[in-house]
Structure 1
Amino acid sequence: MDFTSINPTTGEMIKRYASWTDSELEQALRLTADASPAWQSTRIADRCERLEKVAAALRNRSDSYAAQITLEMGKPIREARAEIEKCAWVCEFFAKNAESFLQDEPVETDASRSYVAFQPLGTVMGIMPWNFPFWQVFRFAVPVLAAGNCALLKHASNVPQCAEAIEEVFLESGVPPGVFQWLRISHAQSEKVIEDKRVHAISLTGSELAGRRIAALAGKSLKKTVLELGGSDPFVVLADADLELAATTAVTARFQNCGQSCIAAKRFILAESIADEFLALLKSKVDALAIGDPAREETQIGPMARSDLRDGVHRAVIESVRQGAVILSGSEPIEGPGYFYRPSILDRVQPGMPAYEEELFGPVAVVLRASDEKEALEIANRHRYGLGASVWTRDRARGEDFARRLQCGAAFVNGMVKSDPRMPFGGVKDSGYGRELSIYGLREFTNIKSVWIG
């Protein structure tokens, strides 16, 4: 298995990396195992100082790193720069807060002194996707490193230059060799790493299918896992919503990164009384999106990352239309070089259609109609995924009550779902388990140890 960098804007190959041999993988695992004890014993303040240097390096080379993201997976350049800034932010957040988050917590018992300590597990393997090729890695790696663990990265095969750049920025910022490594390995070799006794936990961001496979492999070895899997996030617009605000936000929530986001708004659940008015607003905004070369500042929609992804989205759209869905916008590939797909809106989608059952990882908004608030909640929760959700209403108390009844890991009232270093991130049901970011994410890969002193 090679790691191949292809420009999705043109379809041209940029660079290819050969996979490691088993002996090269063994050398890397030995390097990390040797580096782990010293990194665990490094003062938290010193670990955090390295993270501050990483943040500074990211900002100093923001244009270069953003261009790399755009080149390898087609993200519009403005969004790519925002991704780099968010990576710097997560470094700074944990650099500032890791020490307090990892402080021993006193507990009153019958002992003379007792407390809970948060100690590193050892080495965590991160299996990361291509859609946010820097952010997903930093979201996993920064809290892992701050807690005193080492991090091994198995990145997606279509973004190898991003993976290489991330490894370099950690090394250049003073993170010792072996503490963070990019593994250029095949799927079969990945399974060996999961089973290796020198690896103590696994974090995966990826598909539901991959999550089930990784969880089974890790479970056989009794290893901790955190899984952030698929999403089909509902965007619920109630009858009293500010429709202009909701429609404007909906465009970003669904179509940023060409719709290739696990927490993109994928199911638009509309109160029947305002559905047509909302859709008219949404269609006018979607049809005005600037499609083109993602390296240009004015571009809002670039190509999809791979041709097979575009083909899969289109198959789901066509089959859903055959079953009765109604095309309001787009719903077709764009002719010419690159993997472009026209921003799309599908109305009258019903359970059983591919556009409802599958996670459409592309620029397609799926519309369902609800007779009232009760049915809107039922539709929102009637899905196997439970990652994020949003609800739109002028009544904030009503919105908060609705949000608390949504079956998801993150519920937003009058705002689009997004990740934030200050808040835990993760899902329920088939969207996975465990949390990243915040104090909860930092402690996921620690030994939460009870200490009792008589």
Structure 2
Amino acid sequence: MRHKPGTEWETTYARCVSAAPEAFDPDGLLNHWGAAWRPDGFALPSVSPVDGSAIAGPPRIDRDTATAAVRAAADRHADWRHVPLADRKARVGAALDALNEHRDLLAMLLVWEIGKPWRLARADVDRCIDGVRWYVAEIDGMLAGRAPLAGPVSNIASWNYPMSVLMHAMLVQVLAGNAAIAKAPTDGGVACLTLAVALAARHGLPLTLVSGSGAELSPVLVGAPEIACVSFVGGRTVGSRLVATDKRLVLEQEGLNCWGVWEYSQWDRLAGEVRKSFDYGKQRCTAYPRYVVQRSLFDEFLAAYLPAVRSVAFGNPLAVARPDDPLPRLDFGPLINATKAKELSDIVDETIERGGVPLYRGSLTDGRAPDKHFVDGQDTSAYLAPVAILGPPPSSPLHHAEPFGPVDTIVLVDTEAELLAAMNASNGALVASLACDDEEYAGRLASQVQAFKVGVNRPRSRGDREETFGGKGASWRGAFVGGSLLVHAVTEGPAGERLPGNFPDYSLYP
């Protein structure tokens, strides 16, 4: 096994230098603010989760530079908010054409930086492009009676979906008449975002991209008086620190998304969903890491579940046996870094030591099977094979929080009340599902599950285009998004408007 020729990091980075020389120095990445690419910042050493090799790291700036960047973004916002909508649509459309032209290069950067398998990396890029094109077509009606915010929108997002979440949001914010600022995720995705912003900035879009530590930059990117709205995607610990601000907020936070199994018999159907649930190693906010199963069905559930989890393909997303082989079709590659893989592995071991029952523990040596892929001798420290644990004890983090990795936990229940209590263990979630033969009965149960979207015999996801998205309980704070709500979240409407969302003084669900 070897990396497919032409996919090497050196080759990929050279393509970036050729495509956007203004943003990619041969020696490292630049920050973009004040309508210019700037060689400020200090890049810390960075490695790819794919094989532990060196890649370009984020050029971290200090607080003073971030302050100057925010002020420059506010100046651009003051001009951009008066640009006619037709002009904004034309410029965003041209930017999307440029992104589409470099689609495969953007996807290859996602493979190297965050370990996404090729098909998922391309899907992330495509969802950004296709999703924003939909907004370009629909934006006129969404902006009727509305105006841009008083200042820029500041985006702080996790590393797992740089294109379909972060870049998508920024382009819609710009389309709606705002300047958009993004802090590049520290853990990965900065090169992909740098290329995307470079391609879009050529068309005059008021985008700012800076890198730095959250502790250093957050007081500015959240608290600066010029900022009108803060859009955050990440964990509850960090998100909870942002709630105190008086700015417009869009805070997407995690929850333990559960799949309940009650009075059910369609096991082949569920087995297919189990395999698909391991896409990207469950490193996404709408992953399903918890199954709540009726005890009397556990034997049948296990008969369907175990073959499905054993079929999951993981490994190096660039490894091929022959140069002309296509890139492997994997469910997931590495976790975001070796530290996360070690942390989650330790939690698994601790959970089992405290009484959790290991139903399945994969091995990295499985990666040499025909449907798994590793390069001989490569660093595999960022990889973790699938794990399933029955009955995580209350003392384990896996009992109440999502693992953000390829680890499933299974809880057995005997009554409907126990089912609902187990599915609501994390005080709110983004999505949930119920597997139940009686769909009408399942619909009644769904109304008592504390998740924004609840599927019956199917998974739910973040959604695209007109589909709204939010969370219940502690999984979301501020305005909901998706469809017209995303535009409304970053614009001013009529006096006294109550946006759908979870706010300190009310919750309003669309």
**Of 41, 56, 61, the match for 2:97:** 56
Q: Which AA in structure 1 matches 2:261?
A: V
Change (3 A) 1:189 1:375: closer
| CA distance in structure 2 between the partners assigned to 1:119 and 1:62 by the alignment | 30
TM-score for the superposition, normalised by structure 1: 0.89
Query: Shift in Å at residue 238 of structure 1?
Result: 1.9
| CA distance in structure 1 between the partners assigned to 2:75 and 2:403 by the alignment | 43
Q: How many residues align?
A: 431
Q: Establish whether residue 85 from structure 1 lines up as the match of residue 126 from structure 2.
A: yes
8 Å Cα contact 1:264/1:417 also seen in 2? no
Gaps of 5+ in 1: 105-116
**Of 91, 114, 119, the match for 1:73:** 114
1:401 corresponds to: 444
- Between structures 1 and 2, the one with greater helix share: 1
Q: Which AA in structure 1 matches 2:339?
A: D
Q: How many percent identity over aligned positions?
A: 23
| CA distance in structure 2 between the partners assigned to 1:439 and 1:403 by the alignment | 25
Deviation string for 1:92-149 (max 9, x for gaps)? 1211111111212xxxxxxxxxxxx454342010001111222221343233222211
Q: Establish whether residue 436 from structure 1 lines up as the match of residue 498 from structure 2.
A: no
SS in 1 for 2:96: helix
1:158-197 equivalences under 5 Å are 158-159=187-188, 160-172=190-202, 174-176=203-205, 179-187=206-214, 188-197=216-225
1:226 corresponds to: 250
Deviation string for 1:243-278 (max 9, x for gaps)? 21122112222x111111111001111122222222
2:506 corresponds to: none
**Of 127, 141, 154, the match for 2:183:** 154
| CA distance in structure 2 between the partners assigned to 1:384 and 1:175 by the alignment | 43
Which one is further off, 326-335 or 263-272?
326-335
| CA distance in structure 1 between the partners assigned to 2:88 and 2:411 by the alignment | 48
1:23-422 equivalences under 5 Å are 24-104=65-145, 117-159=146-188, 160-172=190-202, 174-176=203-205, 179-187=206-214, 188-216=216-244, 219=245, 222-253=246-277, 255-295=278-318, 296-330=327-361, 337-338=379-380, 339-421=382-464, 422=466
Query: Shift in Å at residue 400 of structure 1?
Result: 2.3
Query: Shift in Å at residue 304 of structure 1?
Result: 0.7
8 Å Cα contact 1:350/1:368 also seen in 2? no
Q: Which AA in structure 2 matches 1:243?
A: W
8 Å Cα contact 2:401/2:426 also seen in 1? no
Change (3 A) 1:229 1:85: same
Query: Shift in Å at residue 23 of structure 1?
Result: 5.3
SS in 1 for 2:493: strand
Q: Which AA in structure 2 matches 1:211?
A: G
Query: Shift in Å at residue 17 of structure 1?
Result: 4.1
SS in 2 for 1:100: helix
TM-score for the superposition, normalised by structure 2: 0.79
| CA distance in structure 2 between the partners assigned to 1:121 and 1:336 by the alignment | 51
Gaps of 5+ in 2: 1-41, 319-326, 366-376, 497-510
RMSD of Structure 2 on Structure 1 (CA): 2.2
Query: Shift in Å at residue 377 of structure 1?
Result: 1.8
Change (3 A) 1:42 1:394: farther
| CA distance in structure 1 between the partners assigned to 2:419 and 2:104 by the alignment | 43
